[in-house]
Structure 1
Amino acid sequence: MTALPPSLERWFDSRGWSLHPHQRAMLERKDAPALLLIAPTGGGKTLAGFLPTLAELGEAPAPGLHTLYVSPLKALAADIKRNLRTPIEEAGLAIRVEDRTGDTPGSRKKRQRADPPHILLTTPESLALLTSYEDAGRTFAGLQRVIVDEIHALAESKRGDQLMLALARLQTLRPELRRVGLSATVEDPEAIARLLARHPDPCAILEADPGPDPDISMLVTEDAPPWSGGGAAYAIPAVLDEVRRHKTTLIFHNTRAQAEIFFHKLWLANEDALPIGIHHGSLDRQQRERVEAAMVRGDLRAIVCTGSLDLGIDWGDVDLVIQVGAPKNVKRLVQRIGRANHRYNAPSKALLVPANRFEVVECVAALQAVRDRDLDGESRGPGPRDVLCQHILIAAAAGPFDADMLYAEMISAGAYAGLTRAAFDACLEFCATGGYALRAYDQWQRIRQRADGLWELRDPRSAVRIRQNIGTIQDSDTLKVRWRGRGGAPLGEIEEGFAASLTPGDTFLIGGQIVRYEGLRELVVEVTRDAHRKPKIATFAGTKFATSTQLSARIVEMFQQPDWPELPAHTADWLRLQRDVSRLPEPGRLLIESFPHDGRESLVAYGFAGRNAMQTLGLLLTKRMEEEGLAPMGFVSTDYAVLIWGLDAVTDPVPLFDLARLEAGLDGWLQGNAVMKRTFRASATIAGLIERQVGAQRKTGRQATMSSDILYDTLVKYDPDHLLLQITREEAMRGLVDFARIREMTERVGDRIDLVRLDRVTPLAAPLFLEPGRIPIRGEADERLLEEEVTRLLDASGLATVGGGTG
């Protein structure tokens, strides 16, 4: 085992600390080409990742970059820098540590390329940018190790694909480079190991003692949760009681808008004036940093937050985590729980607060999954090709490249191991010409092949624009919000669409404050304080989580129990009543309920496929019903069901779920749908067809939308097999539409569809009638209703038989 520098050993001794077994194991296995460490939150896994680096650099390190640390969050990189500097400085080690993110000044970034520190802490985007420079070979000349922290978070997104392509480039520059991945929550270690390793090389997996089970339960309140909704306002008094009983409480929400609403109501009920804060990604960076600093100092008793505080930053003395709303995903819940009692072998303490009656069932299922250490996750499939196109442009910005060598480099990245040469060549051709319909335009002819066979930028000056647009995070179309007046302080951002709906005098919530919209000035929303009116709610950007398939399966399995002693009485009684008047959904079968309600015929399909998939299923089923002449009028969906109302009762639902016809209907629906245009804009931006940043100017969301819509319509008309249209369909199918879940559901169920005809609304269906977001269907039903109304009026006036035979 490599020994630590004596001064660092003495530093550990002075604090009475000793290395944990997994930290010693990291030192022993420091020479592994790829190593994945899975250790519990608070188990010192980040220090474990750095111990081999500190041992190798010792007390007299050679100049140059030795270790690169990659984090999903800028704040996490800054936090690690603070934590690393303590042992380095107090042990007197001559090791230079710096971070490099979007917040780093340009002068320091330029210096880091020529004179890199021993340890550089960065993000996937900044690393991709570093690899795009001609002097990348010099910058990374001494690189020996790469540490990817919170690798599970990166593995689930295009940022992870971008990172692995960048690591493939680094491995070409430094063939002996060693890779280390760190995570506390991994449902499939082998899959993460394959992603981390250089394909086809193996990756060793080191699992630490998971520590004690978390102390996690569901918050019990005197008031039962409402039948629908996501705010959990009923639980405010009980949540405040928990805040009073603990030092620091993190109160997580699944969306930013829900966090704003809850914080506002919590503040109004906070009669003890407890110091509480709010933190989410739409708030101004300075405001977020003030909240973070207050957390570290221990000045706040509670922080209402979203996924912005999910990951492994040590936020002071947090001793309780509250999750408001069903967690939707067990792995995310475990990650959030780990923010409490952030110490090794100390059980985390957490409470779940269901927002409505059905979420009580989901919360209990999630609690069981946590206790069984049964994490969930979705397979992402092959690496997306829009990211691959961007990587080709990054390679060209760094200098001429050989296509064969670049292809070999790309297929060494796990997600792209199955990439065919034909698919690579199609991306290369796209970068060179823009595709058949666009090849006549110079702006999309970005690279060319030289006489010697190497590829290079057609115009070397375009390297600057490529670098300005590197990244896979798609900004939502947002506008800055500031207090009115010269030099007004920034508050955060709201979506353009929401801003367009405002008129002067309207109020909305941001940062927990009610503000009054005064006007739009130079693309900035100007507001003033208004604490006396009921606000609108800003439609903040951010992920709308869908319940995982594994958690959904647990819920359906719970329904099969003869009774539910683990559920509150009100919820158990609700399920028993459902079983008495109808039936409960069963594994491997699809329950359909049909009943009259409010003068219409209603149909409920309990698919349990997640919100996006159920929304898509609603669209496709109503389309199929129109084809069958059943006159649907509208639908609404949740994670577990879709409710459709119309004029006619469905007597045979099996033909409606024919997979081939559903998919055909999807293709027709997608062709001109806004979902496709939105997905196209995202993929076209990543692939470099659309630039959001040109020089010092950044396009507004509306400008980018207009550009992408024109391009989309042009390609659909003149080049329907264009590479980007292929990519767009792939992305829409697995993202916003989530058709894979519908396919899995229909294939699993087959013709085992149970239609239950009833004379009234059932207990399980009742909450659906209270759901917001109803989508009307304009079609045959409107015509029939209009015809009936005209006939009624004619009958009432005695004109129905007058003039019937005139021409």
Structure 2
Amino acid sequence: MILPPEFQDWFAGQGWQPHPHQIALLASRHDSLLVAPTGGGKTLAGFLPSLVELRKGACKGSVHTLYVSPLKALTADIGRNLARPVAELGLQVRVEDRTGDTGASQRRRQRVDPPEILLTTPESLALMLSYPEAPAIFGGLRRVVLDELHALAESKRGDQLMLGLSRLRRLAPGLRVTGLSATVEDPKALAGFMAGSEPVTVIEADPGPDPDIDMLPTARPAPWAGGGGHYAIPEVLDAVRRARTTIIFINTRAQAELFFQALWAANDENLPIGLHHGSLAREQRSKVEAAMAAGELRAVVATGSLDLGIDWGAVDLVIQIGAPKNVKRLVQRIGRANHRYNAPSKARIVPANRFEQIECVAALEAVRARDLDGDPRGAGPLDVLCQHILLTACAGPFDADALFSEVRTAGPYRALDRVAFDACLDFAATGGYALRAYDRWQRLMLRDGSWQLRDPRAAKLLRMNVGTIVEAEMVRVRLRGRGGTPLGEVEEAFAASLVPGDSFLIGGRVVRMDAMREMVIEVTPEPRREPKIAVYSGVKLAMSTQLAHRVLALIGAPDRHAALPGDTRDWLALQAEVSRLPEPGLLLSESFPHAGLWHFALYGFAGRNALQTLGLLLAREMEEEGLGPLGFLSTDYALLIWTLDPVRGPSSLLDATRLRAGLGDWLGENAVMKRTFRNVATVAGLIQRNMPGLRKTGRQATFTSDILYDTLRKYDPDHLLLRITGDEAGRGLVDFGRIEEMLARSPRREHRNLERVSPLAAPLLLEIGKVPIRGEGRERMAQIEAEALMREAGLEMQG
């Protein structure tokens, strides 16, 4: 396909020349994956074939091009950006969005009079495909554009989208699918993820100039422990002062609130600085986004809420506070600066502590080597398939054989076998063996060879619970008074800890809780109070496996330490002198006395979740061996356990088979399994949070899921959802696979018995997040303390 003359003239009028990858995508006759750097015109490339086709007019009554992105804000931004070429080229094309923010009247109209170009999200697509009108809406579909595909592929939202795409390919044979992404570690694997029955062509653009990226020099050294980065506030403010617009990324919402408050306290020049994260009110986020677009802000402190897509060309500096934990995430964030193809992005990193200095140097080396990280994707999750089957029934009767064949055309489900599919179908129809006697889970029936809803009225309830994102229940926060300004939301568990008069931090301001009514906290500004900090669950980022390997290789190679700050080099040199340095292939552990207790340190470099799980499992084994474990602490790099008696050698404790057996015993009654089950059951449709006229609170949903979990464990231990839960717990919150990977890559084991704390272990003693262990060790400790107290009082304890 050649670029038509009017399009050539339009490009020239903008002062642009089409990029080779834009022309290559225009000429492609196959499904394509375009990998191009941020600012490389990916989105225009994705829409160019559609705009060229639509210049000749389009078949009315059906969507011609469907655009899917992970963010509602991104669909709105794309709509604004598309409006200009559509208008200037004189195309008779309607561009509309269909997200959770779209009004009900517009959504109804779109079902009978859809636009030529529809912009949506995976959840809204699943909802549209659940209506009987879906064949009419999408029967004339010619193009599908999947934006930020790498981000979608990292979660169940991507699996949900691929199942929707398999349905679209059946409704509109011959449609062409284009995936767009900037940060892809394995383009071939991502192409396989989005592929249907035909292979996908991968188009890789010129990556553009190398980024200008380095550590931000600071007058004060990084602290030994902690994660706030506050020591660098003066240098961050100076960098903001010298740049036009800066995005300051920080990894968690709580840290973003604290850093923004500290930055504002030091902002003597009153530079306009905003705050942006996912728990702020939409009105607050929109206000910050509009100010950014208008060039009215000098900086914005943000979490991953600004990682993707939105084009702010005026941003000329990105600062990352704290180690990025993931090279791909760092590259994505770097790309927010100088959102132009031929201009190098400028970024600076501020490690939060001494260990993170090493991680940041390793991440910088990976960025310069263009070595992105990422773990292989597993098979498509079955809870998502259960939801898809139920939504398919909402659209009308279906044939099981045909649906099975259709599902297997989706990349994540290509290896799905019929036994697993039938188990999902049986669950969707009856709830499974232990629940089939209850009418509420009897949802599908077989009639004349086709499966259909037992009660058509159930479709409304199923549609109300579409989606794969299961978040903690949030409580809204607003200023007191009629029509009070919304400030954002906090988690229900944090809200439950507040009493009237308590102050807390939200949106960068300190407020006082006055009252809570119907899941809304009413507050009054209280700037001079010391606030509580709202901690949001599920936001701690674990270091990627590949970055962990790079960090370990850097520590274990003294000849490479010249790249590290001087104080960090001295610290590692002292570690080599007192004990030894960890290195690839070696699992190093140490025992030493401190503060009247014995401490065991293991340098696993397996990520926080995995090492926390290992801490729980080793503590159980130490309890069995009578060592008296009292507590433990985990970081991305190391595990520290303190005990009453010394661990002289961990070899017997670190047996993979023994650990896995212990994992099964521990998980059975553990809250991790119940939390995972609740998430799985919600996605699969067993638990429905949204009901007509009301929404279950998080406590209500947890109560329901706990009862179901206990019932199924007792009466149906092989239930489909329990099997899914076990698989997910092992991969996600527990991350046992990374423990096995750590043991496999470390055939050599070395244990050092030391007389005092080692330099590498010292920062661990300063970390927060210690987990106490309630067991024999705690009882022995209480006995020892009691005896000492009695001796001090001149008494002898009897018995």
Q: TM-score range by the shorter chain?
A: over 0.9
Which letter does structure 2 place at the counterpart of 1:606? Y
Matched ranges for 1:131-530 at <5 A: 131-199=129-197, 201-450=198-447, 452-530=448-526
Contact 2:552-2:583 within 8 A present in 1 as well: yes
Q: 1:505 to 1:44 in 2, by over 3 A?
A: same
Q: Find the aligned partners of 2:188 and 2:11 in 1 and give their Cα distance.
A: 34
Corresponding residue for residue 19 of structure 1: 18
Corresponding residue for residue 116 of structure 1: 114
Corresponding residue for residue 748 of structure 1: 745
Q: Find the aligned partners of 1:361 and 1:520 in 2 and give their Cα distance.
A: 45
Q: 1:774 to 1:541 in 2, by over 3 A?
A: closer
Q: 1:346 to 1:787 in 2, by over 3 A?
A: same
Q: 1:241 to 1:734 in 2, by over 3 A?
A: same
Q: 1:227 to 1:23 in 2, by over 3 A?
A: same
Deviation at 1:749, TM superposition (A): 2.1
Contact 2:313-2:338 within 8 A present in 1 as well: no
Normalising by the residue count of structure 2, what TM-score does the alignment of the two structures yield?
0.98
Contact 1:292-1:315 within 8 A present in 2 as well: no
Deviation at 1:525, TM superposition (A): 1.1
Q: Find the aligned partners of 1:471 and 1:326 in 2 and give their Cα distance.
A: 31
Q: Find the aligned partners of 1:120 and 1:457 in 2 and give their Cα distance.
A: 29
Contact 1:326-1:354 within 8 A present in 2 as well: yes
Q: Does 1:623 align with 2:608?
A: no
Deviation at 1:256, TM superposition (A): 0.6
Deviation at 1:756, TM superposition (A): 0.7
Which letter does structure 2 place at the counterpart of 1:25? A
Deviation at 1:797, TM superposition (A): 7.1
Deviations, residues 617-651 of structure 1 (Å, cap 9, x unaligned): 11111111111221111001100001000111111
Deviation at 1:715, TM superposition (A): 1.2
Deviation at 1:357, TM superposition (A): 0.7
Contact 1:630-1:647 within 8 A present in 2 as well: yes
Contact 1:298-1:316 within 8 A present in 2 as well: no
Which letter does structure 2 place at the counterpart of 1:746? L
Deviation at 1:793, TM superposition (A): 5.9
Contact 1:282-1:540 within 8 A present in 2 as well: no
Corresponding residue for residue 102 of structure 2: 104
Deviations, residues 270-329 of structure 1 (Å, cap 9, x unaligned): 000000000000000011001000000000000000111000110240000000000000
Deviation at 1:476, TM superposition (A): 1.3
Secondary structure, counterpart of 1:784 in structure 2: helix
Relative to structure 2, which stretch is displaced further, 517-526 or 550-559? 517-526
Q: Does 1:705 align with 2:731?
A: no
Contact 2:313-2:337 within 8 A present in 1 as well: no
Corresponding residue for residue 727 of structure 1: 724
Corresponding residue for residue 128 of structure 1: 126
Contact 1:2-1:52 within 8 A present in 2 as well: no
Secondary structure, counterpart of 1:361 in structure 2: helix
Secondary structure, counterpart of 1:657 in structure 2: coil
Q: Where does the alignment leave 5 or more consecutive residues of structure 2 unmatched?
A: none
Deviation at 1:543, TM superposition (A): 2.6
Corresponding residue for residue 774 of structure 1: 770
Q: Find the aligned partners of 1:304 and 1:428 in 2 and give their Cα distance.
A: 46
Deviation at 1:220, TM superposition (A): 1.0
Corresponding residue for residue 540 of structure 1: 536
Q: Find the aligned partners of 2:238 and 2:782 in 1 and give their Cα distance.
A: 56
Contact 1:481-1:492 within 8 A present in 2 as well: yes
Q: Find the aligned partners of 1:52 and 1:332 in 2 and give their Cα distance.
A: 30
Normalising by the residue count of structure 1, what TM-score does the alignment of the two structures yield?
0.97
Corresponding residue for residue 569 of structure 1: 566
Contact 1:578-1:763 within 8 A present in 2 as well: yes
Q: Find the aligned partners of 1:787 and 1:521 in 2 and give their Cα distance.
A: 47
Secondary structure, counterpart of 2:675 in structure 1: helix
Deviations, residues 246-270 of structure 1 (Å, cap 9, x unaligned): 0000000111111000000000100
Which letter does structure 1 place at the counterpart of 2:736? F
Deviation at 1:789, TM superposition (A): 4.2
Relative to structure 2, which stretch is displaced further, 334-343 or 541-550? 541-550
Which letter does structure 2 place at the counterpart of 1:312? G
Secondary structure, counterpart of 1:584 in structure 2: coil
Deviation at 1:428, TM superposition (A): 0.6
Relative to structure 2, which stretch is displaced further, 180-189 or 91-100? 91-100
Deviation at 1:25, TM superposition (A): 0.7
Relative to structure 2, which stretch is displaced further, 644-653 or 789-798? 789-798
Which letter does structure 2 place at the counterpart of 1:530? E
Secondary structure, counterpart of 1:494 in structure 2: strand
Contact 1:116-1:139 within 8 A present in 2 as well: yes
Corresponding residue for residue 783 of structure 1: 779
Runs of 4+ in 1 over 4 A off after TM superposition: 789-802
Find 2:72's aligned residue among 33, 51, 74.
74
Deviation at 1:798, TM superposition (A): 7.5
Corresponding residue for residue 8 of structure 1: 7
Q: How many residues align?
A: 797
Deviation at 1:185, TM superposition (A): 0.3
Corresponding residue for residue 555 of structure 1: 551
Q: Find the aligned partners of 2:577 and 2:244 in 1 and give their Cα distance.
A: 46
Contact 2:313-2:340 within 8 A present in 1 as well: no
Secondary structure, counterpart of 1:590 in structure 2: strand
Deviations, residues 83-123 of structure 1 (Å, cap 9, x unaligned): 11101101211111111110000111111111111111100
Relative to structure 2, which stretch is displaced further, 283-292 or 91-100? 91-100
Contact 2:58-2:64 within 8 A present in 1 as well: no
Q: 1:792 to 1:766 in 2, by over 3 A?
A: closer
Contact 2:478-2:521 within 8 A present in 1 as well: yes
Q: Find the aligned partners of 1:553 and 1:383 in 2 and give their Cα distance.
A: 27
Q: Find the aligned partners of 1:574 and 1:718 in 2 and give their Cα distance.
A: 56
Deviation at 1:785, TM superposition (A): 2.5
RMSD: 1.4
Contact 1:161-1:387 within 8 A present in 2 as well: yes
Q: Find the aligned partners of 1:796 and 1:296 in 2 and give their Cα distance.
A: 69
Q: Where does the alignment leave 5 or more consecutive residues of structure 1 unmatched?
A: none
Q: Find the aligned partners of 1:77 and 1:792 in 2 and give their Cα distance.
A: 67
Q: Find the aligned partners of 1:335 and 1:198 in 2 and give their Cα distance.
A: 27
Deviation at 1:670, TM superposition (A): 0.9
Q: Find the aligned partners of 2:727 and 2:6 in 1 and give their Cα distance.
A: 55
Corresponding residue for residue 651 of structure 1: 648
Q: Find the aligned partners of 1:566 and 1:339 in 2 and give their Cα distance.
A: 26
